[in-house]
């Protein structure tokens, strides 16, 4: 735990607690499972973990529906288990970032239950966004907003006497009512939540839906360019990418959100030890994302433009330049990310030839399913490129094993509200959330001590289990471990990008300090550039650099 501003160069590993490791054998991951497996992350060489929500929750959106912001759901353990996890991580030199979900609570949060029980116009109702319906009997929703998960963004409540009452806003599931962030009481509660985790020793927060929270006054009607709701713009270009998202959605990226983060930053700055805020803000373009990380706001924002960029030379060069310029202009590090718990895993996504909007997912009936062999080659090459870039990188659990998206999940196993709210039209995100394989020969591939696993693991995952890859030359795990070690040794996170000319368009060639990085995004082999080979994402037959392969060389 040394060094100031560690987050400027950190490699931060996302743990999805439901699916990382299960200590008690109930088929659901838990905090003790994470603690037990931390040495494997130490060996991988990451700097910090970000834990997706483990708070008290009815789990209607896998824990992003919080019923108590200051406690652990029994499904995952206890606060004491969290303390042990955090202590163990710190002992191993790994920082711990928790997930803050401030846009909405669970409908089972006592604050929302109090709002339902209270009268229209009461202070309790003012904590959320209740409105009268339109039409003669108020039986039409207050406006035309769609939920991100599909369907309407409003639900009507029933009064204690059984008559139909007001409507409340939920940008996500019905069970996730949005807070009114103009309300002072709400602001005060969340200051306390921040302090609760900071006092416990958390190193920071990943802030969920950090471009939501404030809604335009009067809640005006809005019809988005993508029917059925979306997280908003994020991208530069790529298959299925909306290149120009109109920045007019009255529920995304409203100016008022920045006042909230300035307020929170003052709280974090009271604490020693470089605590951080990292924004999940799906806004476009990158210069707009950079507003979330101005010096008095957050420390990092996810670079979703990078995640959504096609595996193609010109697009990659452009997004890398744009990222370094946009974040650099406000004195923030760029971040880089290829996968998380909301998108199709990049070992599959990079082999998709068709549109796939964030959160829509893929499944058995998706046309033109990705080729896993091509996908894995590209994923390894893309990760090797990403880990050579200056700034901070996010990894999503399992990408270091080369896990693909799980496509053939039985419908009966699916849990993502997106699947239910669209009547199966969108598969949603379950395919990237399948529990990890740790041991090829163990039940549930070592996810837990029993054969239980809340989503079924495919048979092919035996070969991808961690113990089948540790120390095996050429495995994806060894590639990541090598890349992280070299990244640290050569201080690449603190470096800079110098483009190397004289290559074909599909070749991304750059120098970062003492390391030359060459990624071939095309299909044709090119001669291997000169220099001492440090790392290769795939075989290099006959001294060539084949397509979908990245190398690092000593410059
Ligand atoms: C964020 C989370 C996602 C969740 C949503 C609502 O986008 O990453 O998993 O469903 O917010 O909380």
pLDDT in tens, 357-387: 778 899 999 999 999 999 999 999 999 999 9
Residue 262 CA, distance from chain mean position: 23
State the DSSP string of 139-167: -B-SS-PBPTTSSBSEEEEE-TTSSEEEE
DSSP H or E stretch at residue 507: strand 507-512
Mean pLDDT of the chain: 95
Q: How confident is the model at residue 225 (pLDDT cuts 50, 70, 90)?
A: confident
**Burial class, 201, CB count within 10 angstroms (exposed 0-12 / middle 13-18 / buried 19+):** middle
As a whole number, mean pLDDT of residues 7-20 equals 98
Q: Would residue 99 show up in a list of annotated catalytic residues for this protein?
A: no
Q: How confident is the model at residue 451 (pLDDT cuts 50, 70, 90)?
A: very high
- Which residue in 136, 184, 270, 532 is the catalytic one? 270
- How far is ligand 1, taken at its centre, from the CA of residue 65, in Å? 9
As a whole number, mean pLDDT of residues 183-196 equals 98
pLDDT tens digits for 304-350?
999 999 999 999 999 999 999 999 999 999 999 999 999 999 999 99
- Which residue in 146, 208, 280, 416 is the catalytic one? 208
How many CB atoms are closer than 10 A to CB 541?
A: 10
Confidence at residue 155, expressed as pLDDT on a 0 to 100 scale: 98
The answer to pTM > 0.95 is yes
- How far is ligand 1, taken at its centre, from the CA of residue 176, in Å? 11
Spatial CB neighbours of 458, under 8 Å, sequence gap ≥ 6: 406, 408, 434
Taking a C-beta distance cutoff of 8 angstroms, is the pair 223, 144 a contact? yes
Taking a C-beta distance cutoff of 8 angstroms, is the pair 63, 489 a contact? no
Hey, what are 552's tokens? 């690092």
Tell me: pLDDT of 273 over 80.
Answer: yes
- Residue 172 Cβ inside 6 Å of ligand 1? The answer reads yes
Q: How confident is the model at residue 227 (pLDDT cuts 50, 70, 90)?
A: low
Nearest alpha carbon to residue 491 among 31, 47, 95: 47
Nearest alpha carbon to residue 104 among 213, 230, 263: 213
Long-range contacts formed by 106-109: CB under 8 A, 24+ apart: 106/57, 106/58, 106/60, 106/65, 106/66, 106/67, 106/175, 106/176, 107/65, 107/174, 107/175, 107/176, 107/177, 108/58, 108/65, 108/67, 108/175, 109/66, 109/67, 109/68
What does DSSP assign to residue 128?
A: B
Taking a C-beta distance cutoff of 8 angstroms, is the pair 396, 340 a contact? yes
Percent of the chain with pLDDT over 70: 96
Strands 276-279, 204-207: pairing is parallel
Ligand 1 atom at minimum distance from 64 CA? 12
Measure Cα distances from 233 to 242, 283, 303 in Å: 7, 5, 12
Tell me: pLDDT of 541 over 70.
Answer: yes
Taking a C-beta distance cutoff of 8 angstroms, is the pair 430, 415 a contact? yes
Confidence at residue 355, expressed as pLDDT on a 0 to 100 scale: 72
- Residue 379 Cβ inside 6 Å of ligand 1? The answer reads no
Spatial CB neighbours of 204, under 8 Å, sequence gap ≥ 6: 7, 95, 97, 98, 268, 275, 276, 277, 278, 299
Specify the residue with its C-alpha closest to ligand 1, atom 3: 342
Spatial CB neighbours of 163, under 8 Å, sequence gap ≥ 6: none
- Residue 128 Cβ inside 6 Å of ligand 1? The answer reads no
Q: Which of 59, 232, 342 for a ligand 1 pocket mutation test, highest count of atoms within 8 Å of Cβ?
A: 342
As a whole number, mean pLDDT of residues 406-431 equals 96
C-alpha radius of gyration, the chain, whole number? 23
- Residue 342 Cβ inside 6 Å of ligand 1? The answer reads yes
Hey, what are 269's tokens? 């700055």
- How far is ligand 1, taken at its centre, from the CA of residue 207, in Å? 10
The partner residues of 205 in beta bridges, in order of sequence, read: 98, 277
Total residues belonging to the chain:
555
Q: Would residue 270 show up in a list of annotated catalytic residues for this protein?
A: yes
CA 362 – CA 419 distance, rounded (Å): 11
DSSP H or E stretch at residue 48: strand 48-51
Q: Which of 209, 344, 432 for a ligand 1 pocket mutation test, highest count of atoms within 8 Å of Cβ?
A: 209
**60 phi and psi, to 5 degrees?**
-75, -25
CA 17 – CA 82 distance, rounded (Å): 12
- Residue 67 Cβ inside 6 Å of ligand 1? The answer reads no
Q: Which of 62, 172, 357 for a ligand 1 pocket mutation test, highest count of atoms within 8 Å of Cβ?
A: 172
- Residue 209 Cβ inside 6 Å of ligand 1? The answer reads yes
- Residue 61 Cβ inside 6 Å of ligand 1? The answer reads yes
CA 34 – CA 88 distance, rounded (Å): 10
Helix/strand/coil for 399: helix
Ligand 1 atom at minimum distance from 61 CA? 10
Tell me: pLDDT of 130 over 80.
Answer: yes
Taking a C-beta distance cutoff of 8 angstroms, is the pair 175, 138 a contact? no
Hey, what are 463's tokens? 């070969």
As a whole number, mean pLDDT of residues 464-485 equals 98
């Amino acid at each position: 735990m040394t060094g100031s501003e560690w987050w400027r160069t950190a490699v931060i590993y996302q743990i999805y607690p439901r699916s990382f490791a299960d200590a008690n054998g109930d088929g659901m991951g838990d905090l003790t499972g994470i603690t037990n497996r931390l040495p494997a992350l130490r060996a991988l060489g990451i700097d910090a973990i970000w834990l997706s929500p483990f708070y008290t929750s009815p789990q209607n959106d896998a824990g992003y529906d919080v019923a108590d912001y200051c406690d652990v759901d029994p499904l995952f353990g206890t606060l004491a288990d969290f303390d042990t996890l955090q202590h163990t991580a710190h002992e191993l030199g790994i920082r711990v970032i928790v997930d803050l979900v401030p846009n909405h609570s669970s409908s089972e949060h006592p604050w929302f239950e109090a709002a339902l029980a209270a009268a229209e116009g009461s202070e309790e109702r003012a904590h959320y966004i209740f409105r009268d319906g339109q039409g003669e009997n108020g039986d039409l929703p207050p406006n035309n907003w769609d939920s991100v998960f599909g369907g309407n963004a409003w639900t009507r409540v029933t009064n204690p006497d059984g008559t139909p009452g007001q409507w409340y806003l939920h940008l996500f599931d019905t069970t996730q009512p949005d807070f009114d962030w103009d309300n002072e009481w709400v602001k005060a509660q969340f200051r306390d939540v921040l302090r609760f985790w900071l006092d416990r020793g958390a190193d920071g927060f990943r802030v969920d839906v950090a471009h939501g929270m404030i809604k335009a006054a009067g809640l005006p009607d809005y019809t988005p360019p993508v029917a059925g709701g979306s997280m908003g713009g994020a991208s530069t270009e790529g298959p299925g990418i909306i290149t120009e998202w109109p920045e007019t959605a009255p529920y995304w990226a409203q100016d008022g959100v920045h006042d909230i983060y300035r307020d929170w930053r003052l709280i974090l700055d009271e604490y020693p030890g470089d605590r951080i805020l990292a924004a999940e803000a799906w806004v476009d373009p990158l210069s707009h994302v950079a507003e979330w990380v101005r010096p008095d706001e957050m420390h990092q924002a996810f670079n979703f433009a990078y995640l959504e960029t096609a595996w193609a030379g010109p697009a990659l060069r452009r997004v890398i330049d744009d990222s370094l310029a946009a974040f650099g202009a406000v004195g923030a590090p760029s971040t880089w990310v290829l996968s998380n718990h909301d998108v199709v895993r990049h070992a599959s996504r990079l082999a998709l030839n068709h549109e796939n909007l964030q959160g829509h997912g893929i499944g058995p009936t998706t046309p033109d399913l990705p080729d896993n062999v091509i996908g894995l080659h590209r994923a390894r090459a893309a990760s090797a490129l990403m880990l050579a870039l200056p700034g901070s990188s996010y990894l999503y659990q399992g990408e270091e094993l080369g896990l693909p998206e799980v496509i053939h999940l039985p419908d009966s196993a699916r849990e993502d509200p997106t699947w239910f709210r669209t009547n199966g039209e969108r598969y949603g995100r379950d395919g990237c959330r399948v529990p990890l394989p740790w041991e090829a020969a163990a039940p549930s591939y070592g996810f837990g001590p029993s054969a239980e696993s809340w989503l079924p693991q495919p048979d092919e995952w035996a070969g991808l289990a961690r113990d089948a890859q540790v120390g095996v030359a050429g495995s994806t795990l060894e590639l990541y471990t090598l890349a992280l070690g070299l990244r640290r040794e050569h201080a690449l996170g603190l470096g800079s990008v110098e483009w190397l000319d004289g290559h074909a368009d599909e070749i991304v060639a750059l120098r970062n300090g003492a390391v030359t990085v060459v990624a071939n995004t095309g299909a044709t082999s090119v001669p291997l550039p000169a220099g001492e080979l440090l790392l290769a994402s795939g075989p290099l037959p006959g001294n060539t650099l084949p397509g979908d392969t990245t190398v690092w060389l000593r410059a």
